[in-house]
Structure 1
């Protein structure tokens, strides 16, 4: 709809139950009572889908037996309650109850509103017709054939559309109900008298505390004027004011306003009825309330009517009554059994003459009571807002119940969704409603952007037809709402609201990887307190490339919370016909729905949790000419009507570089126009998009643009809008930074609100301040003394020692010498100082509770990554050296560049400092103390407690280094101790070991992280070295099926790693990983035959060595970045060639190794049909704006199911077995028992 104000709808009918039923159907709750008195006109506000409505319910006005006086009074009340007039009038009629008399009544009632009433009227029939009713057809024809038959299957959307049509046809204008039209039918059927009489119409209001006395006086006056109209030459309009002292403040205001409004143009005389006796408390309270609400301006219009019960009472006033009369300027009249009404009327006429015809009008009342009225309006707003919030909270609670989240507010943990469950095996586009959350999060963890496309399976249960639809409609609409599909964004936001901080951060990180917009400002669904979830952005990095002035390309990678970029803010006022979010998508990425919009699959008008949410997304340029914007630009999107979300509007318009507002047709006095005019006067660029205008990009003044959207091609609009935004951004403008949002004191910041998060950050910052005092390139060895040269020397000596032991004739003298040297090194490690940084880390981990420890570790990881993210500068230097190499005339400059590059590479590696280095140091402290059996000086903890730290970290989801990639050694003592602690904490669990092998940068870690929600390092310059292990928990329901309690995932450095790899190193690593894993994933990237040949040879030799010692590991080949995973024939051909290569290699190597094997399946349980997986390209398009390819995500799901199948068939291994196996197996490798012949 194109109107901003509330839609005012008047329901006219003849049955209280039918009217209440339809009213409740519209509002979606039991707003109207079906047992209320039929003569009561009620007004109830609420939200109809996404718009404000006001429903005025008059359930008796179409009854044929009500008097003209009742019609007039009720119509006036309807007009008053729908002030300044209704937009829509709904006639509730039935086919079998529409006679000629009904027709006459309908016409009389409608004409009482206005001659133009039919342009605003529709007919709602409530039963299937058995035969044609000509009279009903006539009424429908007069209403321009606007008719809807309301049945059980009727959709609220159909009725909404009819309302919208009526409002649009009338140019959004309400029905103008002039008083002379509304008063055609007078109280005493005096139409002819009115036309003939030239007298004045007198408006009288009868007030007082005694309802019986008021009614009797009213009847006497009306009877007398009916008998003798010409005697006084005036028409009488009489309204009874309810006793005010019994009403609430709000109701007093409503009733008095109603009373004065019904007496158009105003009240000539107020008749205050009091008894001729001592006033009781009720009488006194009533008079006080009348004076309070009407003020002293009522005194000149007030006549005190003193009621006498006896004919013989004297007209003497008691002191108390005299005081009352004087307070109202002294006019009074005694009224007893002998009193003539004519005498009273003469006194009234005289009073009107004295007042020169002046009356107490609505304007008079408002002027006198402006302050009170403003207070009332404020209270009314609060009441309406409270009603809306209560309704909203009911819907939210209902939504959470449907999603089975009603008991999980802020309680869902990352650990709950990262374990293997039955949902890990499901990859459907539809599921049961109670499974929506689990299905959504499983797809999201796998970076599948189709997570938003999941929908609940429809319930096809049929219901028996009921003869009376209103039995259902009069309820709170729960039954009908259950059948409405849950909005996809409600699924996302419900999970967001019910998640703890770590799961929220994981969610937002995955949403960012899916190239989706992220929640920036989020109102609490129950308190409306606005939250800025800064914590959720902390793990997100964005990369982009820009062309600088000399046409060179510069690259940037930044944590998004620190990035300073221009920001464009989109918002709307009112209800608009164009989709704002869809328009924003066309600016950012035309092929991807960054912002969810009304035309996305699963969208509906029933969303509950998105109003007031601000989402943010970034456009990141690629440095190519086709870039839509030349710099990284943030786009913010306020969902819902900005007029209802003033705080978000104020914050974002202030912080934006450019404001873009979408507007319907607004009236000049509309509050939204005031906001637009304020923005127009501001110096900040403003682009106005008009949904009802066709204009094209006139720049009204510098930085101010108007663009019409009506009947325009979306592509043309996008081009114009993009050009306008680029023009605005080409001028110097303010930049936006996420962290600056914290400066707004009226919003809640999650990092500050959560005490554990805040303490974790403070501790991590304190530790970083210790680190920043050191130059890592020069002082890394002093910070981490145990893991540097000493550990490398010990590893080398240990390899030499074990190699000696592996020889047939061990040299005892040489062996003892090695042992002595190794013991000396351990002594040196033990004597080395413990740096303040390591001491601080151990103290902090040991002292905090589990939640605070998790925040500390997360914060430390974030801050360490931020400090050591210098890889791109190094890459740029290397790229410049490569360019020089391509130019012979510049070759003389190459050598210095290359030398500088080597130095830069060394410095870069020295400067890399992560959590793994701290844990490696703690591991070496433990190993040295264990070896020399001595507590380390300066260590304030018993060294035996150190493995517990690592075990807790593994349980919490952090990876632990299994093989030191710099020393090429497994710290067996440390790993064994950590596994012992795991056994102590978890019990001796069954474990399935999954390991992965592949070349460098082939996507191994990315694949594992996406498949299991892990945290292996994937950033450039931080590629995996050595091997890391991480626990994946298995849910109780899956343990019997999988035959294990947890999966231990082992990620390894790439084979043929530049600058490190030797054939011996790769063989050693491959042998360790293959021998350790129950299942090994062999990751192959692309279709390079040379690379394929080399890696297959390394892998095959490892498997052959396992077979020779009667170990039977299995493998699955994962062929990533395959050009066409959908071509079955090509896949079959690829499998055939792979099998030929493996079989050919088997024969060659088996011959050298003197082993009888003809094909690869003789060496390992390998099935080429099931154990080769082809993966699509990771990205759907070109980075940095491309989302992950859904086909890649589907391939991940298939691989995950294959892994689970392998786990269910694998032999049982306990953690204790694994501990012993790692120790023995690594020693056997070092003894070269697995060396090739």
Structure 2
């Protein structure tokens, strides 16, 4: 076997090479994904890494493993305590493991494009460096991971926006920025990656893997030539930021002389290149002087030993002369303390950035010189077919008026669906019947609904909607998922470009003491209504189906539930409740679920987990970290309505758990500010909570403990819903999650908070029972549902570890969420 084949075999990845490991297989509920299990062999490391990185665990890059559960990791080895101590008595580790860079390289080579993209997003949450140029030593190829990085979106505040408190939120591949590259020659006594980590951010964090990390000293076997990249993201605070603007830092692993294509790529795309080297002999000197043009922005970081100091000095003088460099282009490690060294390095980088005109985005960089033989991951036929259609649809949307695009292009979900929803709700509520006979009134409403559907079915489809439906119907499953993912990314980027300026305008109006209230109201409405996301196209698809079915027309659209069922089974989320109308497209949902049963060949057992809470309290993030999902988060992406996602349960675990699939429900926030002025906002909250809790086996109530009044409002809605479920004979389990719980005196505060919560729940129960005329039966919350205040209350720390734009997800947060997940399945 070649070293590459042996590596894949050791890691148990042979069957997945190339690109056969799917996102669905990683999201599957397995014993290892829900219960703590340390790897006991090399072939367990890949899935251990994947499960941990999918939940944004900052410790997922540790490749140590134990011979059996509960034992000490085998790389630790000590001498016999009975022997006399000597410096050699503490043994060096003599074990066989892998460096995390080899593991990441192997995992990416074996992952399909959708899994690669998801891994990039999760790794960026951990603030891990991301693979940019991926070497495949078995094929001798290098791949530029452009598609894989497209879903990575960052938010930052350049110092030019420090006063206005504005920010930028953008996909990193389309962001123009300078790039600083680091390469090395030979083996170096100083860690290049460690130097970069210290430069990029004041907060200590290992963006790049280095030798002094756990398992960092294992030799690389397949990852030499890997180029990783991370991004300096300013937060707009000069006391926190190292540099005022965004830029990329690229790191070539291995000796640059053995990865000349990668080196040439970095040289042609970088504002500056830092070469780390210990000693510079004649051969190294010749290589450097021939590799760079005179006046290039090249810097030397040297760490010479005493034996070769004279030779290195002579070589450096020659390099400075021939490349026309200054003494400031040389940094000497060990000649000064580390703080001064890093300050000088920062000064060099700051000087480069201040005068650099070499800003490029990753899209532009991907257009590489053919001589380098670096291919882009978007050249595959599946990607091209999906990209072409998606890009055309979004380009058509960009040319339309942003405020009227929904009305002109997505008419089926406009006035027709809104009016149909009102009639449907009235059929159930009968609030405006007056003196009309009830049967006659219902018949009138039913007739109106049919007329609306008939009119809706006659609407001529715009080309963009026709193309969207054709792609959904005709593309294969793999191409379809890529197409929808491309649409989502492009539409999210478009929405962000619209929303961020509107939010800045809204902020300015709020701070203006003489602001125009009508302008404030209109701006807020634009923020709520301007975004056009993939969910709107999927909603259009569902409305076209419902209209076609009701009017018995357009038979070609009757295949759409089968398409959605196929997507749902493959891990694609489906809208359950329309957030704009507050209505469930019941025919669509029922027909899709019927198709799911047909395609699965039976009636699977499903366990439902949902989350409720106020807007922007971290509900979607909680589910994303808990199950490795990607429910929408970020500016303008507050969940509207309710969405469901289906996760497979491993065959070996189905009998133990008692179900075949996990259905996760993400919901819009209760007490949403943009809905507060609506007459039925309270009723809407009650209906949403009732529907979601009715569907759930476990309902997670997300509470922001720092706002007592807000918490009371949410509890009131939740208690009403549970009371109704009790009356209907359904008893879902309820878990309360208290977010941002960072108190040092945690135990005492926890007990106080639990007592306060129980008091509030009892008060709400009495009030709700009185309103429902059930106060004889329900006097306290535990009369409604079984609830253990110790086991069913969870106190979770804040999401981020730090306060800069480069802060990773807190390990304390991910650990508590993991324990909560395990509790749900116990």
Q: State whether structure 2 residue 464 is matched by structure 1 residue 837.
A: yes
Q: State whether structure 2 residue 642 is matched by structure 1 residue 1027.
A: yes
CA separation of 1:428 and 1:1085: change in aligned 2, threshold 3 A:
farther
- The question of whether the paired residues in 1 share the 8 Å contact of 2:580 and 2:640 is answered with yes
Q: State whether structure 2 residue 812 is matched by structure 1 residue 1191.
A: yes
- Residue 798 of structure 2 is matched in structure 1 by 1177
- Residue 127 of structure 2 is matched in structure 1 by 515
Q: Per-residue deviation at 1:546?
A: 1.6
- Residue 268 of structure 2 is matched in structure 1 by 654
- Residue 761 of structure 1 is matched in structure 2 by 387
- The question of whether the paired residues in 2 share the 8 Å contact of 1:420 and 1:1032 is answered with yes
Root-mean-square deviation (CA, aligned residues, Å) is 2.6
Q: Per-residue deviation at 1:1053?
A: 0.5
Q: Per-residue deviation at 1:1003?
A: 0.5
Q: State whether structure 2 residue 197 is matched by structure 1 residue 585.
A: yes
Q: Deviations over 1:1202-1226 (max 9, x none)?
A: 2222xxxxxxxxxxxxxxxxxxxxx
Q: State whether structure 2 residue 815 is matched by structure 1 residue 1200.
A: no
1:551-700 correspondence to structure 2 within 5 Å: 552-589=164-201, 590-626=203-239, 627-668=241-282, 670=283, 672-678=284-290, 681-692=293-304
1:148-159 correspondence to structure 2 within 5 Å: none
Q: State whether structure 2 residue 27 is matched by structure 1 residue 401.
A: no
Secondary structure of the residue that 1:1059 maps to in structure 2? helix
1:947-1096 correspondence to structure 2 within 5 Å: 947-986=561-600, 987-1061=602-676, 1062-1096=681-715
1:1159 to 739, 761, 780: 780
1:419 to 9, 20, 28: 28
- The question of whether the paired residues in 2 share the 8 Å contact of 1:1125 and 1:1131 is answered with no
- The question of whether the paired residues in 2 share the 8 Å contact of 1:690 and 1:710 is answered with no
CA separation of 1:492 and 1:1086: change in aligned 2, threshold 3 A:
farther
- Residue 742 of structure 1 is matched in structure 2 by 366
Q: Per-residue deviation at 1:1071?
A: 1.1
1:722-737 correspondence to structure 2 within 5 Å: 722-737=346-361
In the alignment, the residues of structure 2 paired with residue 863 and residue 551 of structure 1 have an alpha-carbon distance, to the nearest angstrom, of 30
In the alignment, the residues of structure 1 paired with residue 526 and residue 762 of structure 2 have an alpha-carbon distance, to the nearest angstrom, of 45
CA separation of 1:624 and 1:429: change in aligned 2, threshold 3 A:
farther
- The question of whether the paired residues in 1 share the 8 Å contact of 2:135 and 2:141 is answered with yes
Larger Rg: 1
- The question of whether the paired residues in 2 share the 8 Å contact of 1:703 and 1:728 is answered with no
Secondary structure of the residue that 1:1158 maps to in structure 2? coil
CA separation of 1:774 and 1:1066: change in aligned 2, threshold 3 A:
same
In the alignment, the residues of structure 2 paired with residue 396 and residue 572 of structure 1 have an alpha-carbon distance, to the nearest angstrom, of 23
In the alignment, the residues of structure 1 paired with residue 641 and residue 769 of structure 2 have an alpha-carbon distance, to the nearest angstrom, of 28
Secondary structure of the residue that 1:639 maps to in structure 2? strand
- Residue 490 of structure 2 is matched in structure 1 by 863
Q: Per-residue deviation at 1:555?
A: 1.6
- Residue 529 of structure 1 is matched in structure 2 by 141
CA separation of 1:496 and 1:1149: change in aligned 2, threshold 3 A:
same
Highest RCO, 1 vs 2 (Cα 8 Å, sep ≥ 6): 2
Secondary structure of the residue that 2:743 maps to in structure 1? coil
CA separation of 1:1017 and 1:605: change in aligned 2, threshold 3 A:
closer
Q: Deviations over 1:559-598 (max 9, x none)?
A: 1001111111111111110000000000113411000000
In the alignment, the residues of structure 1 paired with residue 707 and residue 93 of structure 2 have an alpha-carbon distance, to the nearest angstrom, of 56
1:705 to 304, 329, 342: 329
Q: How many residues align?
A: 780
Secondary structure of the residue that 1:557 maps to in structure 2? strand
Q: Per-residue deviation at 1:679?
A: 6.0
- Residue 88 of structure 1 is matched in structure 2 by none
Q: Deviations over 1:92-121 (max 9, x none)?
A: xxxxxxxxxxxxxxxxxxxxxxxxxxxxxx
In the alignment, the residues of structure 2 paired with residue 1124 and residue 432 of structure 1 have an alpha-carbon distance, to the nearest angstrom, of 39
For structure 1, which runs of at least 5 residues remain unmatched after alignment?
1-392, 463-479, 886-890, 1206-1237
- The question of whether the paired residues in 1 share the 8 Å contact of 2:366 and 2:376 is answered with no
- The question of whether the paired residues in 2 share the 8 Å contact of 1:958 and 1:1015 is answered with no
- Residue 40 of structure 1 is matched in structure 2 by none
CA separation of 1:703 and 1:547: change in aligned 2, threshold 3 A:
farther
- The question of whether the paired residues in 2 share the 8 Å contact of 1:568 and 1:634 is answered with yes
- Residue 341 of structure 2 is matched in structure 1 by 717
2:506 to 878, 889, 901: 878
In the alignment, the residues of structure 2 paired with residue 1077 and residue 805 of structure 1 have an alpha-carbon distance, to the nearest angstrom, of 29
In the alignment, the residues of structure 1 paired with residue 805 and residue 653 of structure 2 have an alpha-carbon distance, to the nearest angstrom, of 38
- The question of whether the paired residues in 2 share the 8 Å contact of 1:532 and 1:747 is answered with no
In the alignment, the residues of structure 2 paired with residue 820 and residue 912 of structure 1 have an alpha-carbon distance, to the nearest angstrom, of 34
Q: State whether structure 2 residue 42 is matched by structure 1 residue 455.
A: no
1:203-602 correspondence to structure 2 within 5 Å: 394-409=2-17, 410-428=19-37, 431-458=40-67, 483-548=95-160, 552-589=164-201, 590-602=203-215
- Residue 801 of structure 1 is matched in structure 2 by 427
CA separation of 1:910 and 1:429: change in aligned 2, threshold 3 A:
same
- The question of whether the paired residues in 1 share the 8 Å contact of 2:233 and 2:245 is answered with yes
In the alignment, the residues of structure 1 paired with residue 695 and residue 744 of structure 2 have an alpha-carbon distance, to the nearest angstrom, of 30
For structure 2, which runs of at least 5 residues remain unmatched after alignment?
75-91
- The question of whether the paired residues in 1 share the 8 Å contact of 2:147 and 2:378 is answered with no
Decide which moves more: 900-909 or 1062-1071: 900-909
1:1143-1158 correspondence to structure 2 within 5 Å: 1143-1155=762-774, 1156-1158=777-779
CA separation of 1:810 and 1:692: change in aligned 2, threshold 3 A:
farther
Q: Per-residue deviation at 1:549?
A: 8.9
Q: Per-residue deviation at 1:812?
A: 2.1
CA separation of 1:551 and 1:1147: change in aligned 2, threshold 3 A:
closer
Q: Per-residue deviation at 1:418?
A: 0.5
Q: Per-residue deviation at 1:773?
A: 4.1
Q: Per-residue deviation at 1:974?
A: 1.0
Q: Per-residue deviation at 1:778?
A: 2.4
- The question of whether the paired residues in 1 share the 8 Å contact of 2:63 and 2:98 is answered with no
Q: Deviations over 1:1031-1060 (max 9, x none)?
A: 111110111111111111111100010121
Secondary structure of the residue that 2:366 maps to in structure 1? helix
Decide which moves more: 1128-1137 or 615-624: 1128-1137
Q: Per-residue deviation at 1:841?
A: 1.3
Q: Deviations over 1:327-384 (max 9, x none)?
A: xxxxxxxxxxxxxxxxxxxxxxxxxxxxxxxxxxxxxxxxxxxxxxxxxxxxxxxxxx
Secondary structure of the residue that 2:813 maps to in structure 1? helix
- The question of whether the paired residues in 2 share the 8 Å contact of 1:776 and 1:910 is answered with no
In the alignment, the residues of structure 1 paired with residue 405 and residue 206 of structure 2 have an alpha-carbon distance, to the nearest angstrom, of 48
Q: Per-residue deviation at 1:558?
A: 1.1
In the alignment, the residues of structure 1 paired with residue 437 and residue 610 of structure 2 have an alpha-carbon distance, to the nearest angstrom, of 34
CA separation of 1:1125 and 1:961: change in aligned 2, threshold 3 A:
farther
In the alignment, the residues of structure 1 paired with residue 165 and residue 687 of structure 2 have an alpha-carbon distance, to the nearest angstrom, of 41
- The question of whether the paired residues in 1 share the 8 Å contact of 2:40 and 2:67 is answered with no
Secondary structure of the residue that 2:273 maps to in structure 1? strand
Give the TM-score of the pair, scaled to structure 1. 0.61
Give the TM-score of the pair, scaled to structure 2. 0.90
Q: Per-residue deviation at 1:1030?
A: 1.0
- The question of whether the paired residues in 2 share the 8 Å contact of 1:1125 and 1:1175 is answered with no
Q: Per-residue deviation at 1:715?
A: 2.2
Q: Deviations over 1:686-741 (max 9, x none)?
A: 22111127999999856951111025322221111001110222124311311122
In the alignment, the residues of structure 2 paired with residue 728 and residue 943 of structure 1 have an alpha-carbon distance, to the nearest angstrom, of 58
CA separation of 1:702 and 1:904: change in aligned 2, threshold 3 A:
farther
